[in-house]
Amino acid sequence: MRLTRGIRTGTPFGAFQSCRLATGQLARRISATQVIPASWGRAGPLRLGGASHQQVDSLRAARCYGAGYRLMSSSPAAHGLERLPDKVQVRTGPIGSLTYRLSKVLEPRTSDHITTRVGSSFGGNHSLEWMHLPRNVLLVVKQGDQAANAAASKIAEYLTAFHPDSNVIVEDADVFAQMQNRFPKLLSFSPAEKPLLAKKVDFIITLGGDGTILHASSLFDDAPVPPVLSFSMGTLGFLLPFHIGAFEHALQELFSGKASLLLRMRLQMSVHGPNGQELPRRPHKQQVHLMNEVALHRGREPHLTMIDAFVDGRHLTQAISDGLIIATPTGSTAYSLSAGGPIVHPSAQSLVLTPICPRSLSFRSVILPSDSTVQLKISKTSRSPAELIVDGQDLGVLSPGEYLQVAMSPYPIPCVNRSSGTLGPHAAARSKEPTLLDEAIESNGARRAEEEHRPLSSASHSERGDDDWVRDINTLLKFNASFGKGALENPLDDTAGAATSK
């Protein structure tokens, strides 16, 4: 038995309300006793001697009441990522009418993980082809959400019935406790096994909101992220293309290789002291990879912060403000947007630098190329330190003289979207139909100029598939909505107009 920190305290699990523990204590008898909070800080491993299998199973995911800790079994039934097969290889390539002629530049890539580099992202969807059937599935479930827990059980039932070779991995102790008796192949993992996720997991399923996806991203710090299939539990979110009611169809598309991916750019961040030495923000982690944004904010300090911003080593400006945000294109519709930043398409590789309540009226957001390296340094003359917030997580405080450095991460988030994935990387070649690019290359200069100004046909649009981003900024942000009657109606929804006309 091992002691691991719990996320939160709650009601006791089963009949075991709490556990008395001292360093090196040999527990031959398990009973409900009084918790001694002071003992948890110095407690070592809890060894169970003479305990029955039933007691061990009952305590496998028990949380110690009132102490913020839970007991997790170190037996192979609960942990054992090392014995899982390695993840299978995938093949990805851009989908679109230009792919045929640009195949030498944007040819499909086969690898056991998905990476990106500056200028490599294609402004559209990517195909996903499994070299072998995926086997290891990570379920990331919103904590404390009973609907999400129930959905996790349904998905596990589906995988057991239609893909019996699948290994389901869960993180949350509550989910594991509710599902372990019905699913013998269910696995959990300890914090020490977290680095194995990037090597073992074939794809991720998230059940919750946008924050659940951000948490899934944090599980793959400094490592490639597997494809992420996200389901909405009834809430709206920019990163939730599927409703939980359609999970069977979505999984069928994913397993059959008909799904498409949108490679959402991430950032990598490191924190440095006044002398340039790296200061880890997470245990044993010099760099942190993030999906939405990193923000420096004065927090509860009464004074504005003074932050010097550098781009590629050159001083850009000194911001006297509540703080600064560096966001990804995905994060441009989150905190940065609320602070007055621009909306950036997720396929446009860039960094967004947005001030938070600046004292200067002329300080506006700046969009930087993705190969930029940005440094934000707390000025030595600043009267206030700054809190460091990464994807909603507080990672400490930066004092005057300390700085953070941000650049594009080589490991994007491959998000499965609702766009058609039936057209693979060489769909244009299979169709044998000339594209606009073919005609432009084979014609003279006048014809080429004419073609460049000709609107794209509807067929070309369909090859790009449905754009989730266009739909989301209209339905979620009410982009460019008027203040008149029916402003909240979706202009792309014909049923709304029909209902009004009646």
Render each residue's pLDDT in the chain as its tens digit; 502 residues: 444 333 333 333 333 333 334 333 333 333 333 333 333 333 333 434 444 444 433 333 333 333 333 444 444 445 588 889 999 998 888 776 444 444 444 566 777 788 877 766 555 688 899 999 999 999 999 988 899 999 999 999 999 999 999 999 998 887 888 888 888 889 998 888 899 999 999 999 999 999 999 999 999 988 899 999 999 887 667 888 898 999 999 999 999 988 899 999 999 999 999 999 998 876 656 789 999 999 999 999 999 999 999 999 999 999 999 999 999 999 999 999 999 999 999 989 999 999 999 999 999 999 999 999 999 999 999 999 999 999 999 999 999 999 999 999 999 999 998 754 443 333 333 333 443 334 433 444 444 444 444 444 444 444 444 467 787 888 888 888 877 655 555 555 554 444 444 4
443: left (phi over 0), alpha (psi -120 to 50) or beta: beta
Q: Indicate if 394 belongs to the active site.
A: no
Spatial distance between the Cα atoms of 376 and 308, rounded to a whole number of angstroms: 6
Domain count of the chain? 4
Q: Where are the beta strands (DSSP E) in 6-121?
A: 26-27, 47-48, 63-64, 69-72, 90-94, 109-111
Q: Which value, to the nearest 10 degrees, does the dihedral of the CA atoms of residues 130, 131, 133, 139 take?
A: -50
* Catalytic residue (one of 145, 172, 202, 210): 210
**Is the distance from CB of 330 to CB of 349 less than 8 angstroms?**
no
Which of 75, 98, 117 is the C-terminal boundary of a domain? 75
Spatial distance between the Cα atoms of 477 and 315, rounded to a whole number of angstroms: 35
Spatial distance between the Cα atoms of 286 and 284, rounded to a whole number of angstroms: 7
Residues 122 and 236 in one domain: yes
**Is the distance from CB of 376 to CB of 326 less than 8 angstroms?**
yes
**Is the distance from CB of 180 to CB of 61 less than 8 angstroms?**
yes
Residues 432 and 388 in one domain: no
Residues 229 and 115 in one domain: yes
Q: Domain range holding 280? A: 267-408
Tokens 């407690």 map to which residue?
Answer: 43
Spatial distance between the Cα atoms of 451 and 362, rounded to a whole number of angstroms: 41
Edge-first strand order for the sheet with 350-356 is 366-369, 350-356, 323-327, 293-297, 386-390, 393-398
Which of 46, 75, 104 is the C-terminal boundary of a domain? 75
Residues 294 and 397 in one domain: yes
Spatial distance between the Cα atoms of 378 and 404, rounded to a whole number of angstroms: 9
Spatial distance between the Cα atoms of 422 and 465, rounded to a whole number of angstroms: 10
> Could you give the 3-state DSSP secondary structure of residue 494?
helix
Spatial distance between the Cα atoms of 343 and 357, rounded to a whole number of angstroms: 18
Residues 123 and 246 in one domain: yes
Give the CA radius of gyration of the chain.
26
Residues 227 and 288 in one domain: no
Residues 306 and 272 in one domain: yes
Residues 8 and 47 in one domain: yes
Spatial distance between the Cα atoms of 309 and 319, rounded to a whole number of angstroms: 7
pTM of the shown model? 0.73
Residues 458 and 483 in one domain: no
Residues 160 and 45 in one domain: no
Residues 235 and 112 in one domain: yes
9: left (phi over 0), alpha (psi -120 to 50) or beta: beta
Residues 19 and 36 in one domain: yes
Spatial distance between the Cα atoms of 137 and 158, rounded to a whole number of angstroms: 12
Which of 43, 75, 107 is the C-terminal boundary of a domain? 75
